[in-house]
Structure 1
Amino acid sequence: MRYRLRHTTSYSYSWPVDMSYHLLHLTLQSGPRQTVTDCAVHTAPEGRTGEIGRDHFGNLVSHLSIEEPHTRFDVELTAEVDVQPFTAPPEAETPPWESIRDLLNGDGFPKAFEPCEFALGSPMADADDAIAAYAAQSLPPGRPILAAARELTKRIHDDFRYDPTATEVFTPVAEAMKQRAGVCQDFAHLQIAMLRSHGLAARYVSGYIRTMQPGDENGLRGADASHAWVSVWCGDAHGWIDLDPTNDLVVSEDHVTLAVGRDYNDISPVRGVVLGGGPHRVGVAVELLPLDAPPKQAPAQAQGQSQGQTQTQSPSIAPPSTPKA
């Protein structure tokens, strides 16, 4: 499936920002399941941009400094990407979850060195007793890792209420567990914490999910905004398999990957340091449409947390000509 992506973020400040510095995880890269044919990031004010580099997890990252007063900061990502379908292996053919745990542990000398980092706790996906107990129900002895992870995905989807008003960006995962409510970010953090609580490796994946069009029979929760899901390590033979607890599915053609990390804090799309500005409002708008679909009307000037963005012309931040997979 070939997509056209547009992701806009707008910050409106109460009074002028004197200067600011931003770190942007907004550059798509090609990988095993997607090929990026075009990608650009535009900002207003344009500021000064540094070369695109890679962070600890291999994501493309860019830096932006703005040294002029401004009361509004706009960022727009536009891209075209070809996403390949993915079919997960039969669950029964994946190893028992305990064998994966043992590879990641290795009595302090893990045999699976690279994935083992994602078996450790992180600030936004740290498990407590309630989270570990919930996960244990899906992890009886000898169960294949993918079967266990898929059941956990379904249980989160069925047991937790999708409610954008229930949590905020930095709501602790334990609070989302207590409320049994949240959004895609919370559900991803919950499943990651649950898997890690039993010694398994799970990554946080940020990206986008296909925008619903008239006539679509089954709506996908989390469309029209940044999306998040989980990547579970299923051993050397099967590698990382992505699961979406918000929609109870194995990630395939409906998702575009932006970045991977331990949790949201590693790969938030826009973060930075601001001098001045005072209280501010943030608005985000996303559309991920098949290339043959007509573009939606540009988002209107948004209000409050649903604020959209009016993009002005500015130079772009382009990815390297041959990004690594």
Structure 2
Amino acid sequence: MSVNAQAWPALPYTDWKDSCATLHLWTQVVGKIRLVQTPWVNHSWHVPLYVTARGLTTSPVPYKSSAFQIDFDFVDHVLWLRTSEGHYRQIMLMPMTVADFYGNVLVDLKLLGIEVAIDTMPNEIPDAIPFPQDTAHYAYDPQAANAFWRILLSTHLVMSHFRTSFLGKVSPVHFFWGSFDLAVTRFSGRKAPPHPGGVPNLPDAVAREAYSHEVSSAGFWPGGGGMIEEPAFYSYAYPAPDGFSEAKVRPAAAYFHKTLGEFILPYEAVRTASNPEQTLMDFLQSTYDAAADLGTWDRNALECAPGMPRRPRPV
């Protein structure tokens, strides 16, 4: 297997859509546990999961005078629940209903001395089923889950490098379990008009707080929802400046999706490129350039040269 195939594996959405839907809901169960235990951070930065060398993690979650952490391991296919006192529980990742997954997680947390209560209605999913009643989603394909994580990891590395060339406010590279995507967001520093809301099963107040300031945001999404039935990278600006949809961006395979209001780069165009990392970086940079130039961002004040290992940024 080539290096590219290991880092950027094939993952046709139609081949794992049932497992994708189940895993999406499992991450929501875990993410909501972090949500209820963590003080609110601007733009909902207290709720995402983070990419690890083996999967996804909540990072340490406060509980009374201690902490716990929940990790998806997509190498050994285990959900780890660990406490700062050194105790742990494991749940094997295998085909099981969302209802069973939800129940198993809460039972194991209770066995660790942790009692939490979450809103059981999934977010950002139309026609959602509350977790305790969801026996419709139960698929889990370990090979596909591992491939999905490897794509997230490779994307995370490129986005993390892209992030280094911005001096202004910029988000971590984080995984939003509501929309099931890995994202990084840059901010102009100026306030934005109120977001219209209307996201399925998401309070409008949350959407408005998330988009309180102008952004250029990009990420990776595995596909689905009837809009794009393939994995893809995306980039958008909020609010979108005049002329944004007509901007020339790289690579040639990228296009503007009028319904979504975003630039889209099919994952296959990255995976099959001779240099996938540079292809993705070109997309991130050129779409940001369009947002920043057309939106008249103060680029001289907000940007710097990309970071280098062991080399302090010159000032």
Query: Do the two structures share a fold, i.e. TM-score over 0.5?
Result: no
Comparing both structures, which one devotes a greater share of its residues to helix? Answer: 2
Comparing both structures, which one devotes a greater share of its residues to strand? Answer: 1
Q: Could you say which structure has the greater relative contact order, defined with CA pairs below 8 angstroms and 6 or more residues apart?
A: 1
Q: Under TM normalisation by the shorter chain, which class is it? A: under 0.3
